[in-house]
Every structure is written in C-alpha cells, then in structure tokens.
Amino acid sequence: MSLQVGIVGLGRVGRGVLRANFMRPQHQRYAISVICDIMPIDHVAYLIAYDSTYGRPPFRVDYDGDDLILDGVRIAYQRVDRRRNRHDQESFRCLRPYGLDVLVDATGTASIEDFRTLLDQNITKSIVCTSNVHGCELSMVYGINHQDYDPAKHRIISASTCTGNALVPVCYMLDKHIGIDHARIITIHPLLADQRVLDGYHVSSQLGRTSATSIIPTHTNVGKSTELLLPALTNKLDSLSYRVPTAIVSIIDLSCTLSRDASYDEIATLFNDYAQHRLSGIIHCDYGAWGHQKASIDFMGADYSSIILMQHLTLSQPRQLGVTLMHDNEYGYCCRVLDVLGVLASA
C-alpha cells in the first residue's frame, strides 16, 4: 500500500505491529519506511526473530548495516536515545527525509505536545498513537467509529488500547439496542514490561512487587476511554484491573445493569448477528470445543478485538447481565492498529 509509515518505539506493541504487517500477504502490507528505538539494531532483529510469546515468525529476519530486513524488505533503522530528555523532538529530525504520511508512536511515553511538535517540524503528516494520550483529535476504535475520521481535522489519532478495543464494541451493542444503566468492568491482564521482576521501586507501589508471584490490583482507564467513544455511558462505568503472571491473552469480566428487561436469547442473537455481519472480524462468539471450555492460551494469536465466551453469558434477572471476554492483548490489538492505518490510507 502507498502509505509511507514510520514506527517509533519497538517494545511489544511496536514489534507486534511489524510482525502483524509482515504476516499479511504482500499486497496487503504497508510500506514501513523507517523504525526508531533506543536499542542497537542487532537487538531489534534478535527480539523479532526470537519471540518468547509467539515463537519465530514465518518470515526471514536479518539486518545489514542500518537496515532491518524482514521477508527481504529493507527498513531503515534510526537509533535515538531520549532517556535524558524525552521531549527533545530534535532527536527525530533524522526521520524527516523519509516523507512519512503516518508515524506510529508506540513508545507509551509521548504527550500531545510532543506530537504537535513533530507535526510542526514536518516529520510526518499525521500520527497514530497506541495509547490514550489526552488531547488526541480522535480516539478511534476500528469497527465502531472509524467512519468519523476526517483527514482535514484529525492529524493526531489514538488507536485506543487493547482493552478499549475489546470492551467498546460490546458496550456499543448493548447500549445501542438495550441500554446500560451501570457496569462494573474487571480486567485480568497479563503482566507488562513496567512491572518488576523482584520487589523494587515503582511509582505505582503495587506494581513494584514481584510480578511472577502475585495477582496485583491496579488502576485502569478503560471505563473513561469507553466513555470517550460512547458518551451516553458517562459516569456509568467503574473499572479495576488485575495483573496476573501470564504472558498473553487478557480477560474482561463485565457485569451490567441493563436499562430494560431483556432475555438471554435476545442478547445472544444480538452478539451473533454483529459477529457475523457489521463487526465480522472484530468480535467473535466462542462456544468452546466439543462442549469443553477453552483456556486463555487457546486465543493466543487471535486477530479479533474481542472474543465473547458464550458459555459464560449469564442473565440472572431480566436486567442483570454478565459477559466474559477474552482477547490477545498484543496481536489482536496490533491488527487493529493496522486497520486504523487502512482508514487513513483510504481517506
């Protein structure tokens, strides 16, 4: 595709976007011109070629000088160290010669001021960030509000978060057709890179505890990020996250008080209809295997935003609904980032 793309930040998401892009057939891939991180290039190649979660990719990985080579395609690599001053946008002047249409920010540390500076300096024409950065001009959950994108108005776009992409479609369906008076959202999330291997300092003290031995409660903004896209749910959502010592696949346990009486069949039909039509490829209704329930690892590598476990769908009263969702919090989300790039390319 003709869109010229750069990626800044090669952590799990940045590398995941690269991997997801090269998992596609050649005619569906984006032209990634340049990537940027603090690591030496041999470390980048090593971490892509030998992934502890997903294993080795089905394409060749190598590097030559300052070029990363994926499936025979050369991608320029720029090593930038902003640890002492992460707001030093002049460090990204090396990206200007690439004529970027979109810069994907996967650092998780940038601010809206950083993005505006990159645009003002003509580093790129637009930015897609892989987090909810306050002040973004559009928070996009593909399948729900991607049609709202206007290239004349939206130059800084958030692709929301993995949890946001999983939760928003389900809340959208329920709120549009039945209504939600209140919902309690519990996310059970694999450990993340900001946690500590052994007890140590962390600005969120509980995340400084040994990550492999505890279930750790922590804050999540998924309720607020859902309200951004579905303002009718403002002040109706409470959320809490638990970090657990697993590598991949996140769970959302959603308990809703509905606005009107409903039946199990109505809700099951609603979910299945969306999964087969308007949100096909975005959500999936899973019924287990031969009557058996699946485990989270069975959904590793799934490219859906959200997988509804229909065996756990409950309606204990006409208005008390329980929904359990699973999603690959890395690969599934990275596929949505590529879909967001597709929206920009089409526009």
pLDDT of 85 over the 70 cut:
no
Reported confidence tier of residue 93, pLDDT bands at 50, 70, 90? confident
Q: Which residues pair with 254 in a beta bridge?
A: 185, 323
User: By the 8 A CB rule, do 73 and 26 touch?
Assistant: no
Give per-residue pLDDT as tens, 214-259.
999 999 989 888 998 999 999 999 999 999 999 999 999 999 999 9
Task: Tell me which amino acid residue 319 is.
Answer: R
* Domain ranges in the chain with CATH number 3.40.50.720: 4-130
**Integer Cα distance of 79 and 90 in angstroms:** 13
| Contacts of 65 by beta carbon, 8 Å cutoff, 6+ apart | none
Cβ partners under 8 Å of residue 345, min gap 6: 1, 2, 3, 30
Mean pLDDT of 264-290: 97
Enter the CATH code of domain 163-329.
3.30.360.10
The pTM for the full model equals: 0.94
Q: Which of 248, 182, 249, 192 is nearest to 220 (CA)?
A: 192
User: Which residues belong to CATH 3.30.360.10 in the chain?
Assistant: 163-329
pLDDT band at 90 (very low <50, low <70, confident <90, very high): low
At 326, is the secondary structure helix, strand, or coil?
strand
pLDDT tens column, 147-197: 999 999 999 999 999 999 999 999 999 999 999 999 999 999 999 999 999
Kindly write down the DSSP assignment for every residue of 126-146, as one continuous string. Answer: EEEESS--TT-SEE--TTTSG
Say if domain 4-130 classifies as CATH 3.40.50.1100.
no
Contact present, 195 and 169 (Cβ < 8 Å): no
Q: How far is the C-alpha of 166 from the C-alpha of 305, rounded, in Å?
A: 5
